[in-house]
């Protein structure tokens, strides 16, 4: 009897010792097995490569710490899980969570002033309980330092009016890997790649595209390029941006662009098909738009795209002020939905990294896009399209603000999902195949260039609205608003995020932007059902384990009495 007892005790001590040793050894390593359906705890290959190449200390200071509601606690824990994953790949990753709202009133004030100098501002969070709601300031940002360089990462996405907070938090969690890895990549990059904006055809003025160009210049070398001054586009220019041209492209200029594409160049086309803007309607009771004489239709057609001479109307749109009367000498305005300014919200079924998890994008007088079959293999992906409550008007047409004075005829909005942004990828045919003149050949020969009838594998994006890249400008007040800011709605839409994602996808080849497609599925708790079944689940979660433990003890006691009694 004594030997059996000693043997059992020895076995317990051995197992306990092994567990203690494993726990001590495991504390020096971080790893996990991801069994989730959506792979939320698995890093993409591009992220693993980027983090593994860190050869110096990456210090991350996260300001999201303290007592939060469940959603923000989940965001905070997701950040920590991600940084633990990074540290398991590379020991140079160090991080710290900081609560900037701890200390005396004076200390908190000094901390907030110091954060503001670094461009870090709080978010006013409304905390809702069952009986009441309260306000709480949070700083959902992280500050990264690497080799003397610094980057700010915004952890929380903007909340579009009407979007539940849980959805915003879920999108924020989904984008954490991309945001952190992209910030690390930008700090590791020494030489910047080149982007050129075309000019000479009435494109957006520098002050109109200032916010877009300034945002790009943080990561790329941005310049303006007049196609009349060159014979060939330098292939060191990784991306050509054609931003809302108004004037005609000559055949020589089109040939230069065509051969740039044939040599692997990438292009972002932001094209207005019809000449129409809000200024046109302010100066006349009605306006008849006409086609811009761009002379680009045949070039785009050859690449697989046709921008239709029409305008799309959508009941899902932004609002403009409509004069409805006078009070004294002051005009009175009412905000009405302007169908020609559709708010394009990427569909839930569209997981392309350019538009995945994006908020609404503010368009103005956009046209629909048709895709054309090409002789070479060109993949066409519709990135953005109107809602199911949309229609089209073909040129010629009359446009007037008077349509806002009457309720919309919803039965006429029966042309849903009109494409307004299409991505093209593959090998493009040249517009000038069998059409190259002797003068063109002579020009190429002088530059030691050969004509190419088919491109290398490359890509381009066509958007049927040039104003999608135009930031609001008040020249009289010398006031410039962020790209996507709507002066009437006083809300900033996701125009900049869309264009920055597009540029990164068109330029980069490392697959990092693919991490934007990671989707963390939202499994929301039914609060009404949880409240109604509260006692039931309390009994299951508390009573059931106690019952099973008691049953096990009784069986164990009975077995021991039978064996040793």
Distance in angstroms (rounded) separating the CA atoms of residues 386 and 368 = 9
* Residue 516, pLDDT score: 64
- pLDDT classification of 129: cutoffs 50, 70, 90: low
Per-residue pLDDT at 481 exceeds 50: yes
Percentage of residues in the chain having pLDDT higher than 70: 86
CA angle 350, 461, 381 (to 5 degrees): 35
Distance CA 269, CA 411 (A): 33
Structural domains of the chain ordered from first start:
37-187 (3.40.30), 191-509 (3.40.50)
| Residue 534: predicted pLDDT | 78
**Nearest to 268, CA basis, from 462, 427, 500:** 462
Q: Which residue has the higher pLDDT, 119 or 450?
A: 450
d(CA 262, CA 254): 12
- Residue pLDDT, tens place only, 332-359: 788 888 999 999 998 767 778 898 878 8
Contact 345, 448 (CB under 8 A): no
Tokens of 515: 């991490």
Residue 258's pLDDT is 94
Confidence of residue 33 (pLDDT cuts 50, 70, 90): low
Q: How far is CA 266 from the centre of its chain?
A: 20
Residues contacting 368, CB < 8 A, separation 6+:
307, 308, 310, 312, 392, 418, 419, 420, 464
26 has a pLDDT exceeding 60: no
pLDDT for the residue numbered 24: 66
Per-residue pLDDT tens for 147-197?
888 888 888 877 666 566 677 777 788 888 888 888 888 888 777 889 999
Beta strands in 221-303 (DSSP E): 221-226, 237-243, 266-270, 286-287
Strand duo 237-243 + 266-270: pairing: parallel
DSSP 482: P
Please tell me the least confidently modeled range out of 127-141, 190-204, 274-288, 378-392: 127-141
Express each pLDDT in 275-299 by its tens digit: 988 877 777 778 888 999 999 999 9
Mean pLDDT, rounded, for 229-237: 89
Average pLDDT of the chain is: 83
Q: What is the SS3 string spanning 158-173?
A: CCCCCCCHHHHHHHHH
| Strand 361-362 to 369-371 pairing | unpaired
Of 34-43, 136-145, 246-255, 323-332, least confident by mean pLDDT is 34-43
pLDDT(35) > 50: no
| Banded pLDDT at 491 (limits 50, 70, 90) | confident
For residue 435, is pLDDT > 60?
Answer: yes
- Close Cβ partners of 429 (under 8 Å, ≥ 6 residues apart): 302, 303, 374, 375, 376, 453, 454, 455
3 state SS for 111-171: HHHHHHHCCCCCEEEEEECCCCEEEEEECCEEEEEECCEEEEEECCCCCCCCCCHHHHHHH
Least confident of 213-217, 501-505, 557-561: 557-561
Confidence (pLDDT) at 523: 53
**Cβ atoms of 176 and 211 closer than 8 Å:** no
Residue, of 381 and 42, whose pLDDT is higher: 381
**What is the tens place of the pLDDT at every residue in 443-458?**
777 777 888 888 989 9
Give the global pTM. Answer: 0.77
pLDDT value of residue 389 = 92
């Amino acid at each position: 009897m004594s030997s059996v007892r000693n043997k059992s005790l020895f076995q317990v001590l051995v197992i306990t010792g092994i567990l203690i040793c494993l726990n001590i050894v495991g504390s020096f390593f971080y790893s996990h097995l991801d069994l989730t359906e959506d792979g939320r705890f698995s890093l993409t290959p591009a992220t693993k490569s980027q983090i593994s190449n860190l050869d110096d200390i990456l210090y991350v200071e996260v300001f999201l710490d303290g007592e939060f509601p469940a959603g923000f606690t989940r965001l905070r824990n997701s950040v920590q899980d991600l940084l633990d994953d990074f540290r398991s790949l590379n020991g140079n990753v160090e991080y710290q969570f900081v609560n900037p709202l701890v200390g005396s009133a004076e200390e908190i004030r000094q901390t907030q002033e110091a954060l503001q100098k670094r461009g870090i501002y709080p978010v006013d969070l409304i905390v809702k309980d069952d009986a009441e709601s309260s306000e709480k300031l949070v700083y959902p940002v992280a500050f990264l330092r690497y080799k003397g360089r610094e980057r700010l990462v915004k952890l929380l996405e903007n909340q579009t009016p009407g979007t539940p907070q849980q959805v915003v938090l879920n999108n924020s969690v989904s984008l954490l890997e991309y945001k952190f890895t992209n910030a690390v990549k930008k700090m590791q990059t020494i030489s910047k790649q080149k982007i050129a904006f075309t000019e000479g055809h009435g494109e957006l003025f520098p002050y109109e595209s200032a916010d877009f160009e300034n945002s790009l210049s943080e990561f790329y070398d941005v310049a303006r390029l007049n196609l009349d001054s060159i014979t060939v586009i330098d292939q060191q220019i990784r991306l050509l941006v054609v931003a809302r041209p108004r004037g005609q492209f000559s055949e020589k200029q089109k040939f230069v662009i065509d051969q740039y594409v044939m040599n692997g160049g990438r292009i972002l086309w932001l094209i207005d098909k019809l000449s129409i803007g809000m200024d046109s309607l302010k100066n006349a009771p009605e306006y008849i738009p006409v086609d811009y004489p761009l002379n680009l239709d045949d070039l785009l057609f050859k690449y697989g795209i046709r921008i239709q001479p029409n305008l799309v109307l959508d009941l899902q749109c932004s609002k403009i002020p409509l004069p409805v009367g006078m009070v004294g000498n002051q005009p009175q305005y009412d905000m009405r939905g302007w169908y020609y300014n559709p708010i394009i919200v990427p569909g839930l079924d569209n997981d392309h990294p350019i538009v995945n998890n994006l908020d609404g994008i503010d368009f103005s007088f956009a046209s629909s896009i048709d895709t054309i079959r090409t002789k070479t293999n060109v993949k066409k992906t519709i990135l953005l399209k109107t809602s199911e409550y949309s229609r089209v008007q073909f040129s010629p047409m009359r446009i007037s603000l008077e349509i806002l004075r009457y309720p919309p005829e919803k039965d006429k909005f029966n042309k849903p999902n009109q494409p307004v942004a299409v991505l093209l990828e593959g090998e493009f045919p040249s517009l000038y195949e069998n059409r190259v003149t002797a003068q063109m050949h002579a020009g190429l020969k002088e530059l030691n260039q050969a004509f190419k009838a088919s491109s290398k594998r490359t890509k381009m994006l066509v958007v049927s609205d040039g104003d999608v890249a135009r930031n609001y400008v008040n020249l009289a007040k010398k006031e410039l608003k962020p790209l996507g800011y709507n002066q009437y709605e006083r809300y900033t839409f996701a125009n900049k995020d869309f264009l920055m994602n597009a540029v990164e996808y068109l330029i980069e080849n490392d697959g990092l932007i693919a991490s934007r497609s990671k989707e963390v599925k939202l499994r929301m708790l039914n609060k009404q059902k949880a409240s109604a079944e509260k006692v039931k689940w309390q009994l299951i979660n508390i009573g059931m384990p106690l019952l099973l433990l008691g049953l096990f003890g009784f069986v164990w006691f009975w077995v021991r009495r039978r064996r040793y009694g």
